[in-house]
Amino acid sequence: MLSDIAALRYGYRYEYKKLAQASRPVVNHDVEVAIYVRGTNEQITSIPFSVVEVDHRSSTGRYVIGHVQLDALHTSAAFLDSETFIALIPED
């Protein structure tokens, strides 16, 4: 911590050499994932599930456990809604 304070005092800037590397990792969104989603009926119906394993509805809300393509989940309205809870379920 003292070294950081000294660096700020003398105007030293840290180098981040790995940021300048040409090879960037490629992310594959074309994969099916298992998820748990909790929210309102409108939020959950915006997710195009390929398989629904559990669909629970009550007076306080709804949750679904199922499989969806990652790119489809990313573009769904529920993904952008802060009131929706989405958790990835690890595969066995």
**pLDDT per residue as tens digits for the range 20-75:** 777 777 888 889 999 999 998 999 999 999 999 999 999 888 999 999 999 999 99
The answer to whether residues 68 and 33 touch, using CB atoms and an 8 Å cutoff, is yes
Count of domains for the chain: 1
| Structural domain for 92, as ranges | 30-92
Distance CA 40, CA 45 (A): 9
Six-digit token pair at 55?
């669909």
Q: What angle do CA 50, 35, 90 make, to 5 degrees?
A: 115
Is there a domain that residue 59 lies in? yes
Is there a domain that residue 1 lies in? no
Q: What is the pTM of this model?
A: 0.69
Is there a domain that residue 43 lies in? yes
Is there a domain that residue 78 lies in? yes
Is there a domain that residue 75 lies in? yes
Burial of 36 (0-12, 13-18, 19+ CB in 10 A): middle
Q: What angle do CA 84, 88, 71 make, to 5 degrees?
A: 80
Six-digit token pair at 38?
């909790």
Determine which of 6-15, 28-37, 83-92 has the lowest per-residue pLDDT on average: 6-15
Is there a domain that residue 63 lies in? yes
The CATH number of whichever domain residue 77 belongs to comes to 3.30.70
